[in-house]
A and B are shown apart, each in its own frame.
Chain A
Amino acid sequence: MSAREEILGRLRAATTEVTTPVGHRGPAPVIGVPSPGAGETLELFAENVADYRASVTRCRPEEVGTVVAGLLDRAGARSVVVPDGLEASWVAAAREAGVELVPDSGADGALLTAAELDAVSAVVTAARVGIATTGTVVLDHEPDQGRRALTLVPDQHVCVVRADQVVHDVPDAVALLEPRRPLTWISGPSATSDIELDRVEGVHGPRTLDVVIVG
């Protein structure tokens, strides 16, 4: 008997007394807090993002480029990876200020290697969803965010979230996401609680997380 057949057989034999049919529970219940209003949801999002030591800046759409340039400058970034589908105006001001823009795919179509990424200071991306109750941004790695390595290896991540992308609670976000895309949920910069169970920011992921809320 194959391991598969044997394990399935054991599991079946272990549950012979079960009389309920598959799916007896019904669909997963949705247990969350409804949004008290778009303004409050956005306030809470900004507050909770900041609570885990990410910076939060709110601005109008035409200001994104200047805000991004300012954030890169504050962290001393000299170069920035640009996902292939990123809105070009978001990094135009930074380029003018002398920050080197590094596209993910070169002229020959080859993607940056991990070592090349490691040499870049920062990355600028869009996001898919923001979650107010937890201060989380979720990336689904579409072209305006780039593949997963881009937001992982450089030490600064500037993440631009549109106000209308922010939902109130965790189940709202889960309902919006497409599970067949890779998903990365980010709540604050890389951190650890492994030393005496105290949270310390800055281990392997970007040590600086700047969230820009637009609109």
Chain B
Amino acid sequence: MTLQTTSPIFLGMPSFQKAAKDALRNTQQRRNLAHATSTIRAKRAAVVGEVDRWEELRVAGADAKDEVLHHLPHYLEQLEANLVANGATVHWARDADEANRIVLDLVRATGSDEVVKVKSMATQEIELNERLEEAGIHAWETDLAELIVQLGHDRPSHILVPAIHRNRAEIREIFRREMGGVGRPAPDDLTDEPARLAEAARAHLREKFLRARVAISGANFAIADTGTLVVVESEGNGRMCLTLPETLISVVGVEKVLPTFADLGTFLQLLPRSSTGERMNPYTSMWTGVREGDGPQDVHVVLLDNGRSHVLADDLGRQALRCIRCSACLNVCPVYERAGGHAYGSVYPGPIGAVLNPQLRGTGSDVDKSLPYASSLCGACFEACPVRIDIPSLLVHLRTQVVDEASGRSPEALSMKAAAWMFADHRRLEAAQRGATLGSRLLGDRTVRSLPGLGAWTQARDVPSPPPETFRQWWARTHGYDVEEAP
């Protein structure tokens, strides 16, 4: 059996504008996307319309997330204590590398050379599959769309439906060509009927589920006051992974915490209606550590920072961490619908990706510098967002940062030389953060009115001032070197 190569890494992506121009020439993909997003927009509108108190739910969702984000250490410690009390082992990972190392060691300890995976944005973000494959461990994606992406040696282009850029005929071709190489082949008479395609996936993956000893998942929610993890899905592949293997490893971003179990009463209304446009998704699994005689007995949770603490430090930008990855903002975005997901150069495409990628990765690369401009600021994303993330304002906020860094005149740029020294020690770090906050307060009401080369937009509007910590400072802090010196 050959090792599968999944999503090639997003390094060296051109700017969004360049990639989008190329994508626009792909008329097949554009047609696929327009069809899919218009279908989902109509479904979402119908089921959201059924809920009279939708706006109240949105506010409650935002409040619950803000409560957690304002006191994240408290809620994480509570979550950890409840997980441990219920038999789970908790690991902490500062960055992608550390998370991958932890997972790899856990898998190796089981002696297994394969894992089954539930779709998880966090593991895509840290490129776990690639790391496992390098170490000779097969990582089988079991979500239908992820399977299509993996078998097609492709990259995901949507949060919810990573293969949204593929139509049924293309999927049939991929299944017929690739399934046999990695397990049970597709039947010879496979048609492009969605039901037949789903059946082929069922047969192909069943043998893998039945023999799997290790599963890797993410979590949609992690409940602080009980230690419960929640996975929301449709196909049952999640249930297979969460139930049948002996070992379960869940990689969970630190922002996934909800304060109480009762908050699920809000989020299980917001998420399904916003994402697949259903009153409820077919399956939701909740588990609290280990249950004797039922499901995995060796349960691990890896709590992942990987830039989130940086996002948190910006008190405006922080709201992006409320995101529950429903993908509603993608489906309503006119820019996404035309450019497609690949142009965003990340596992997080669309409006939220345009915000999160530069927030998480810094604005060192062409694509991350250009992403805050991948929007017409029409506001549809904010309207659709179930946790009221003001994406247009965040994009404006990020544009300022890109501009300041490009000018090289910013106080942040000047202070970079000292950064390594400051961040080498946590007391100096705290002093520096206070200083940076002070600096941005001093900038106060400064606005940027006209910027050469950045088009007409800034001529029409003012741009607000930068956040307490800059991306470069963050980059230096988390990577140990200046963005300019990137190896």
A interface residue numbers (CB < 8 A to B):
1-4, 6-18, 20, 22-25, 27-33, 48, 52, 111, 114-115, 118, 131, 133-136, 141, 147-149, 152-153, 170-171, 173-175, 177, 179-206
Contact = CB atoms under 8 A, between A and B. Distances in A.
A141 B285 CA distance: 12
Contact of A179 (B52, B164, B226): B226
Contacts of A9: 426
Given A179-B228, A184-B285, A197 B164 contact: yes
7 contacts: A3-B94, A25-B66, A147-B294, A183-B286, A184-B285, A194-B161, A197-B40
A11 B254 contact: yes
Interface string B232-264: 001111011011100000000010000111111
A204 B239 contact: yes
B309 interface: yes
Contact of A193 (B161, B168, B294, B426): B161
B305 A194 contact: no
Contacts of A24: 67, 70
A114 B161 contact: no
Interface centre among A4, A111, A131 (most CB of B within 10 A): A4
B74 A22 contact: yes
B282 A3 contact: no
Given A193-B161, A194-B163, A13 B235 contact: no
Nearest to B210: A114
Interface of B: 32, 35-37, 39-40, 52-53, 56-57, 60, 63-64, 66-67, 69-74, 76-77, 86, 91-94, 98, 142-145, 148, 161, 163-164, 167-168, 171, 194-195, 197-199, 201-202, 205-206, 209-210, 223, 226, 228, 234-237, 239-240, 242-244, 254, 259-266, 268-269, 272, 276, 278-288, 291, 293-295, 303, 305, 309-310, 312-313, 315, 426, 429-430, 433-434, 437
Nearest to A203: B235
B52 A192 contact: no
A175 B398 CA distance: 41
B291 A152 contact: no
B280 A192 contact: no
A28 B234 CA distance: 27
Nearest to A174: B265
A1 B98 CA distance: 14
Contact of A16 (B284, B286, B433): B433
Contacts of B260: 27-28
B70 A15 contact: yes
Given A148-B295, A174-B265, A205-B239, A195 B94 contact: no
A180 to B, nearest CB: 5
A196 B39 contact: yes
Contact of B294 (A1, A10, A141, A186): A141
A18 B278 CA distance: 37
Nearest to A140: B286
Contacts of B269: 31-32, 170
Contact of B71 (A4, A22, A197): A22
A94 to B, nearest CB: 24
A185 B280 contact: yes
B303 A7 contact: yes
Nearest to B201: A203
Given A148-B239, A179-B226, 9 more contacts: A11-B73, A28-B265, A32-B269, A152-B239, A174-B268, A182-B286, A185-B285, A190-B283, A195-B194
B265 A32 contact: yes
A15 B202 contact: no
A185 B285 CA distance: 6
Given A135-B279, A186-B283, A179 B288 contact: yes
Given A3-B94, A152-B240, A195-B194, A205 B312 contact: no
B40 A200 contact: no
Contact of A13 (B201, B276, B430): B430
A44 B371 CA distance: 45
Nearest to A5: B92
Given A7-B254, A192-B235, A182 B60 contact: no
Contacts of B39: 196-198
Contact of B285 (A16, A131, A183, A197): A183
B429 A25 contact: no
A4 B93 CA distance: 8
A121 B239 CA distance: 18
A199 B437 CA distance: 49
A2 to B, nearest CB: 7
A174 B98 CA distance: 35
Contacts of B206: 118, 204
Nearest to B90: A4
Given A31-B266, A195-B144, A204-B202, A184 B283 contact: yes
